[in-house]
Structures are given as structure tokens and as C-alpha cells.
Amino acid sequence: MERFIMALDQGTTSSRAIIFNHSGQIIATEQQEFKQFFPHPGWVEHDAMEILDSQIKVARDVLKKNNISPEQIASVGITNQRETVVMWERATGKPVYNAIVWQCRRTADMCSAIEETGVKNLIREKTGLLLDAYFSGTKVKWMLDNVPGLNERAEKGEICFGTIDSWLLYNLTGNHYTEPTNACRTLLFNLHTGDWDDELLDILNVPRNVLPEIKPTCGHFGHIKKEFFGEEIPICGIAGDQQASLFGQACYNVGDAKNTYGTGCFALINIGKKPVISQDKLLTTVAWDIGDGIEYALEGSVFIGGAVIQWVRDQLHMIEDAEETEKMALSVENTGGVYLVPAFVGLGAPYWDSRARGAIFGLTRGSSDAHIVRAALESIAYLSRDLIEALQQDFGKRISSLKVDGGASKNKFLMQFQSDILGIPVIQSELPETTALGAAYLAGLHSGYWDSKETIKNNWRIKNTFKPKQEIIKRKQMIEKWDKAVDATRHFRV
């Protein structure tokens, strides 16, 4: 009987279940989108029960539609949207409020008020994070402060808190656990001790008894109850989406780096077993703990990556499909001096300028759709380059190559330009689904489906390698003009 690993990939807009074989190849996949709620400007919520139901449905469907029995699943791995929080009744498992999504900005003023108390540097040193509404801790505090009676019930031990991994795990197994890659995104986890921190809990007034127990990333989290699939199946690996991608890309050595090109871009670099607190407003995060101690990564995010192509399609109507952009970009020799800075929601790392707004510079009568489309694609590479330069500065060494994944990494023009503007090879993985694959690898390592990281590394295959072709002088000139465009964008205020 052939056996497989199932990955449950719970994302921001959809839930997926993917079956992998021993070679790391996809055997089957199912996906279901769920509703997004925007109750107020800047607020984003999900129905936690809809997340759970959609995740169970796709898991059942992927087995049934492909005639795979539950007995054939050696273990299950979970990867999830990070920083999104749920609070639920310990006795019933029912949520007490909608899930507050990582994108939600409702606690921005709360963060400013907390910062005024003088704890900014303490939080930075202990967590490796910035005090920002992006992270989970202030979302938990908001629920405790605003859901009637919730704080009192939490103090009595009647309420559970968790990120999406914990929410799924509690309902599937009955266990209230999490692991370090998700815990480290809460503002409540101490990077140096590897545990919840009482001082951080006091700052945010979060009772310790609502928190899940922290297990290693690669370990036994319990068995999925028989009622769901007809057989009990062990869950043996959990990781937040970006760390799962780093693991799926086999970035196991210090200095290995990857960039994921999705709606935004997320770049991570493995920095080993000693956390380094960034000097360039990047994040220090847990990469994983596979049972032999925590390994760390530096992380930065670009807010608008592939989303700039959606904007060109939906607002400017210059294209009908994202796949057209590669041909359009290659139809012109360059951008004709056009630079597009897609600061539609501000600028992420290393700028962290929430007030910046998007702009197009260098337009002339000769500027065409193709020039603007090319400039839009190039902007993704420029922003990623800015981010990766900051990562290297904090890390203290140059990276020799960059592994890439995500939807926009399929665009050959973009990947070649990324290599040109970085001056290093860009390596495209044969399998773009590295996030789900990382969760599968973690689960398979613990369950014995794979015997070592070396075996996993042998599965990783290159689809394309893009080598820099741009002359150094020309590259510097282009970067200088890009820097001027960003600077002008940041100084323009409405």
C-alpha cells in the first residue's frame, strides 16, 4: 500500500489540502475560498467556523476524489496564515468573536498608546518584532477589552486563544497546542527563552491560561479524531506559511535565502541558532524547531508584490490576464524612463512608511501601456532588492543566490530582472507549492516518512536559474533612479 503525506494549507483567502508522495511531488489537491469581512475601514475579519469547515471539506474531498484511503496518510502537516487570531470557549470549541486577520489595522492606535509607555525597545529585544497592529498580541487584547465578559471568563480559564494552527488543531484533535513559528508572531513569545514571556503578557494584559502549550515545529500534536475521516491520523508538523516555505525550499544552511512572490513578497534568510535583532526595521523570527533547538531567520515583507499586476489589470485595464505582462514587458527595450512605486498601502520593509502612497514617474508622450506594465513588474524586483539588501546588512554577509517561489515567480521577465538588479543568480524551484510542501516535510520527518533533511534536500529540484546579465554601472544607475522615485513618493503628502 503506497503511503502519502497530507498538508493542510490554511491561507488568507482559501483553504487547501494537498497530497504529496515520497519524491515531494503533488498527487492531488483541493481548494475552497471563504468569505472576507470588512466591518469598518481598515478592519478585516474571517468566520473561524467557515475556516474550519472549509479545511475539513477540502481534506475529505482530496481523499475521496482521488480514491486515497485515510490509512494511506502517514501523517498530516499544517501550515497557516500567520498573526490571525481566534478566541473560543474551552468547553464547547465555539468562537467568541470572528477571527481578526493579520491585515486588520484596528489596533494601530493601541500600539501607539503602548509605545508611549516606553516599552518599545523591550518588546523589540524580547520578540524581534516591531510594535505593530500586524501582530497577534494587540488583537487578543482588543478582544479581551471589547467582547463583553470575555476578560473575566479568560481569567477563570474558560477561554482559549490561538493562531489559526491552534484553532484547527483544537477542533481536529482536542489539544490546545502551538509551535514556535506561530508563537513568535504574537508579541507574547520570548525569542531567547523559547517560551511565553510574563513581562510581555503583563504589558498587553493577556492571562497566561488562555495560551496554548508550545511544542516543537516537528513533533506529535495529536491524532485527528476518527469522526472526521473514518480513521485516526497523526498531525506531526506545523509551521506558519513563510517559515514552511523556507523549509520547503530546503534553506537549511546559514545564509540560505528565499523570496515568495505572492500578493506581497516575503523574504527570509536562515541565520542559524542565534537570534540577531535587526538594525534595519526587519523582523527576527523563528525559522523552525525540528526537535534539536530553535533556528532563526531574518524576515522582511513587501506589501505590494503581485498585487501591482492586479491593479494594472483591474484599475488601469491595460491587461486581461497576468500572464500577458511578460510578453508586454519584452515588447519594449526598457521602461522609457518610467518608474512605478506601488505604495498603495504604504511601504513595508525596510522603509515602514505607512503614509507613503503610490506614484508613477517619468511619463512622456511616448509612454505606452507596455512601458507602464514593464515598470510595474520591475517595481516588484526593486522593492524585493531593497528588502534583500537590508537583510544582508543585518546578516553581515552577502547571499550567493536567491531561491524563489509563489505565483509571480513564474514570470520569466520578472525573475531575470530580479537577478539583474540583485547581481546574483535567482533559482526557481520546480515545485511552486513550497509552503504546503514545507508542512508536509515537517510532518513526514517526525513520522519517519522521510528519514532526514538530506533526503528532503535531494527532492528539491531546480526548474530555472536566472543569472545576472546587467552591467554593474547600468545596474547602479537604475537603482539610483529607483531610489529617487521612492524618495519622492515618501515626501509627497496629501
**Helix (H) / strand (E) containing 370:** helix 369-395
| pTM of the predicted model over 0.85 | yes
Q: Is residue 231 part of a domain?
A: yes
- Answer yes or no: is pLDDT of 382 > 90: yes
Helix (H, G, I), strand (E, B) or coil at 359: strand
Q: Is residue 362 part of a domain?
A: no
* Helix extents (H) in 116-225: 120-127, 136-146, 150-155, 164-173, 180-183, 198-204
Q: Is the model's pLDDT at 367 over the cut of 70?
A: yes
Mean predicted confidence (pLDDT) in 3-25: 92
Residue 293 CB partners (closer than 8 Å, separation 6+): 273
Q: What is the pLDDT of residue 166?
A: 97
Q: How many domains does the chain have?
A: 1
In percent, the amount of the chain with pLDDT more than 70 equals 100
Residue (of 489, 264, 257, 242) closest to 390 by Cα position? 257
pLDDT of residue 410: 87
Confidence grade of residue 493 (pLDDT, cut at 50, 70, 90): low
Which residues constitute the domain of residue 153? 4-241
Asked whether residue 305 is assigned to any structural domain, the reply reads no
- Residue that the C-alpha cell 543566490 belongs to: 401
**Within a domain: residue 450?**
no
The SS3 of residue 201 is helix
Q: 250 has which bridge partners?
A: none
Position 73 in a domain: yes
Write out the three cell numbers for 477. Answer: 544607475
Q: Identify the residue with better confidence: 492 or 25.
A: 25
- At residue 432 the predicted structure's pLDDT band, cuts being 50, 70 and 90, is confident
Closest CA to 218 of 79, 81, 16, 86: 79
pLDDT tens profile 256-288 = 999 998 878 889 999 999 988 888 788 999 999
The answer to the question of residue 133 being in a domain is yes
- Band of pLDDT at residue 494, cut at 50, 70 and 90: low
Contact (Cβ atoms closer than 8 angstroms) between residue 201 and residue 208: yes
At residue 239, the pLDDT reads 97
Residue 424 falls within a domain, yes or no?
no
State how far the Cα of 461 lies from the Cα of 466, in Å rounded to an integer: 15
- pLDDT tens digit string along 126-165? 999 988 888 999 999 999 999 999 999 999 999 999 999 9
Full strand arrangement of the beta sheet holding 159-163: 45-46, 99-100, 85-89, 159-163
Q: Decide if 295 is inside a domain.
A: no
Q: What is the CATH number of the domain that holds 210?
A: 3.30.420.40
